Amino acid sequence: MQELYSIAISPSQDIISEVKEMKEKLNSEVGWFNSIHSWAHISINQFLASEAELETVKTELMAICDPLQPFEVTFNDFGTYPKNGAFFIAPDAASTASLKILMNQIHDSLQVDTEFKNNEPHISIARRLTPEKLESAKRLFPTVNLHYWCDSVVIRKFSSEKKQFDIVVEFKFKERVGLTI
């Protein structure tokens, strides 16, 4: 049987906590919203896989991540996708470039058919907000400045009970000198 999985970049625990606080503050201001309980992450893709197919994906991700060197990521802006009511934290230009290289390398190297591919790195705060609630979010959060060391990629499995993804395996970059993305 196939299950739904996601490949993502999971930020530091400090950033996960800060984003959780932002979501709680936004909830107090505008009420419940989609993705309120989702832990901070940068989505790369989603795919369906059997256990055997998942093992192949793990092998491929290990080969991709093994030679990579960790890099610093800065998120210093908020953005919106008004079409789907998304409010998110955006990386700076240098971080966007590094994250896109990593994301494209994963997109280009994996053999699994994906249900969804993300090409714009961001950390979602909320989804499906009305235009009025998007404006409230922008007023509530005028500035942001988050930094962390990107040193891994994770596979997450969708939990039908929680209606969220849970991390099932992490692929650490090896920190070898001279190998960068």
Q: 104-122 pLDDT, tens per residue?
A: 999 999 989 999 999 999 9
Do the Cβ atoms of 10 and 41 come closer than 8 Å?
Answer: yes
Residue type, 58: K
Do the Cβ atoms of 107 and 92 come closer than 8 Å?
Answer: no
Mean pLDDT score across all residues of the chain: 94
What 3-state DSSP class applies to 9? Answer: strand
Q: Report the distance separating Cα 75 and Cα 12, nearest Å.
A: 12
User: Residue 92 above 70 pLDDT?
Assistant: yes
Q: Which two tokens stand for residue 159?
A: 């939990």
**pLDDT the model gives residue 179:** 45
Residues 35-57 have a mean pLDDT of: 96
Residues 30-39 have a mean pLDDT of: 92
Cα separation values, 74 from 23, 56, 85, 96, 153, Å? 19, 32, 24, 9, 17
Q: Report the distance separating Cα 129 and Cα 138, nearest Å.
A: 12
Residues 125-151 have a mean pLDDT of: 96
Q: What domains sit in the chain, N to C, each tagged with a CATH number?
A: 3-172 (3.90.1140.10)
Residues 126-144 have a mean pLDDT of: 96
Interacting residues of 145 by C-beta distance below 8 A, sequence separation 6+: 74, 75, 76
